[in-house]
């Protein structure tokens, strides 16, 4: 450093001291500030201790005052009311020197705490702060005796509309700006929250694995599924296809924000940025019992749930759908599925094939004779077969015509 630079630095220090002497109250040390290079230099020079703070030992106590030994042949006096708890002889504290009279210093603990707090305030450092008020721009806080401000954008990781609930709370915050000369301190809670979430996320990821069962809370619904908070700073996607064994068109029809769920972790990708979750995987799969409920050739009722160009999907049990191919809709040729059935229609179908492994069931609206199930032609063919098996004999005075009419009426009643 040149002599010229030394002179400039000394001049700057003199200006700072002169300006600070004009402030009300005891002299405060120069503050670090990005706007003033001299503040940075002063902060570096005072790291070893603040010249305005003095260590003292309690020498004696009476009802109103406390005598303090400050050093060899140097004493001070301070009001007992400046201590949060009654002091004891021998205890050591930091004091600020207010004034001196007849060789006895008047001391202050309040100002000492203020000076000590300013000394500790550095950009990037974590401090505890208590919210004492609010305004349109954010929160008003105290870091010990020092006033501070937190902009609205730094209060939380999400947008905050109402600041009232924060008043009175104490947070760990990050110092993002210190301007000691202007007595300005700006804090951020958002940075601390992001850091805590990142650390919690890393800890949780260490124990998370596919197949694990976790608890979560629905935090957002989309057309393709639900985002679920599973704790530890982690969220996963419950895709619409994994909500239920039954087909779900709109997640909001079966889930709601805030709902608590037990889920299975399906996959973890990109370091936990993509976590797939499943709900139906923890439920009994209705396809496991399909062969117990249905057999080939069985005629069962069903409901049309989807229409495709090649046919209709018919639900014949909870979460069990079969394909009714276009060729099996009617005895005659069908060009458009919608000309025969529509979503919501109830119909009677016959099981043609079952493949639980592929989750497929083939259905038909036709009997094995090619007639529409329950139609006059189909019922008539059945009764003719039965009549012929009896040798064509009339029973109880009935002829074939009356038997067919009765059978058709019975079939229509069942339908």
User: pLDDT confidence of 358, banded at 50, 70, 90?
Assistant: very high
Residue whose structure tokens are 């002497």: 21
**C-alpha dihedral (168, 169, 172, 177), degrees to nearest 10:** -40
User: Which H or E element spans position 5?
Assistant: helix 3-21
Q: Give the start-to-end residue ranges of the domains of the chain.
A: 51-112, 121-194, 223-282, 286-364, 376-414
Rg of the Cα atoms in the chain: 42
Which segments of 144-259 are extended strands (E)? 146-151, 170-179, 184-188, 213-222, 225-231, 234-239
Among residues 279, 244, 285, which one has the least CA distance to residue 264?
279
Cβ(173)–Cβ(188) below 8 Å: yes
Pick the CATH number of 121-194 from 3.20.20.70, 3.10.310.30, 2.40.50.140, 2.170.130.10: 2.40.50.140
- Report which of residues 25 and 286 the model is more confident about: 286
pLDDT digits (tens, 9 = 90+) for 49-78: 455 677 889 989 888 889 889 888 888 988
Give tens-digit pLDDT for 160-172: 888 889 999 998 8
Confidence of residue 390 (pLDDT cuts 50, 70, 90): low
Whether the per-residue pLDDT at 357 is higher than 70: the answer is yes
**Average confidence score pLDDT of the chain:** 80
Integer Cα distance of 355 and 10 in angstroms = 91
Largest CA distance in the chain: 141
Q: What is the pLDDT of residues 341-352, one digit of tens each?
A: 999 999 999 999
Confidence of residue 313 (pLDDT cuts 50, 70, 90): very high
More reliable by pLDDT, 126 or 396: 126
CATH homologous superfamily of 223-282 equals Nucleic acid-binding proteins (2.40.50.140)
CATH class of 286-364: mainly beta
Tell me the pLDDT band of 384, cut-offs 50, 70 and 90.
low
What backbone phi and psi angles, to 5 degrees, belong to 139?
-115, 145
pLDDT at residue 51 in the model: 53
- Fold agreement (121-194, 223-282): yes
| Residues 161, 31: Cα–Cα separation, whole Å | 33
pLDDT at position 47 is 36
Which pLDDT score is estimated for 167?
92
How confident is the model at residue 146, as a pLDDT?
Answer: 80
pLDDT band, residue 316 (cuts 50/70/90): very high
| pLDDT tens digit sequence for 397-407 | 455 455 555 55
CATH number of this structure's domain 51-112, picked from the four choices 2.40.50.140, 3.40.50.2030, 3.30.70.580, 3.20.20.105:
2.40.50.140
Condensed to tens digits (0 to 9), the pLDDT of residues 201-248 reads 888 888 899 999 999 999 999 999 999 999 888 899 999 999 999 889
In 3-state terms, the chain is what percent helix, strand and coil (to 5)?
Answer: 30, 40, 30
Assess whether pLDDT exceeds 60 at residue 396: no
């Amino acid at each position: 450093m040149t002599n010229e630079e030394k002179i400039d630095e000394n001049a700057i220090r003199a200006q700072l001291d002169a300006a600070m002497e004009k402030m009300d109250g005891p002299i405060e040390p120069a503050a670090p500030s990005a706007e003033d290079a001299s503040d940075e230099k002063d902060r570096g020079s005072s790291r070893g201790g603040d010249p305005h703070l003095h260590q003292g030992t309690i020498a004696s106590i009476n009802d109103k005052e406390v005598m303090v030994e400050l050093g060899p042949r140097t004493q001070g006096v301070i009001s007992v009311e400046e201590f949060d708890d009654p002091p004891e002889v021998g205890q050591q504290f930091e004091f600020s020197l207010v004034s001196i009279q007849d060789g006895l210093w008047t001391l202050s603990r309040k100002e000492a705490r203020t000076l000590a707090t300013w000394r500790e305030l550095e950009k990037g450092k974590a401090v505890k702060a208590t919210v004492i008020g609010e305004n349109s721009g954010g929160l008003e806080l105290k870091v010990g005796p020092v006033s501070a401000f937190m902009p609205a954008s730094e209060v939380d990781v999400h947008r905050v509309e109402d600041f009232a609930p924060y008043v009175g709370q104490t947070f760990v915050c990050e110092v993002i700006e210190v301007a000691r000369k202007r007595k300005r301190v700006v804090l951020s809670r958002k940075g601390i929250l992001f850091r805590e979430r990142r650390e919690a996320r890393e800890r949780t990821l260490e124990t998370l694995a596919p197949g694990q069962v976790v608890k979560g809370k629905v935090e957002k619904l989309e057309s393709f599924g639900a985002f679920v908070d599973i704790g530890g700073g982690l969220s996963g996607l419950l895709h619409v296809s994994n909500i239920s064994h039954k087909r779900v068109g709109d997640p909001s029809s079966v889930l709601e924000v805030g709902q608590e769920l037990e889920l299975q972790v399906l996959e973890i990708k990109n370091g936990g940025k993509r976590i797939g979750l499943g709900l139906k995987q923890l439920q009994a799969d209705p396809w496991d019992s399909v062969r117990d409920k249905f057999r080939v050739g069985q005629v069962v009722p069903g409901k049309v749930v989807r229409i495709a160009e090649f046919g209709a999907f018919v639900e014949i049990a909870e979460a069990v759908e079969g394909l009714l191919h276009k060729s099996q809709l009617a005895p005659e040729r069908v060009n458009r599925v919608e000309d025969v059935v529509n979503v919501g229609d109830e119909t009677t179908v016959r099981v043609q094939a079952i493949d639980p492994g592929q989750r497929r069931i083939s259905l038909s609206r036709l009997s094995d004779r090619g007639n529409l199930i329950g139609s006059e032609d189909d019922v008539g063919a059945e009764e003719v077969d039965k009549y012929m098996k009896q040798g064509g004999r009339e029973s109880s005075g009935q002829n074939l015509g009356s038997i067919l009419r009765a059978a058709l009426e019975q079939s229509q009643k069942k339908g």
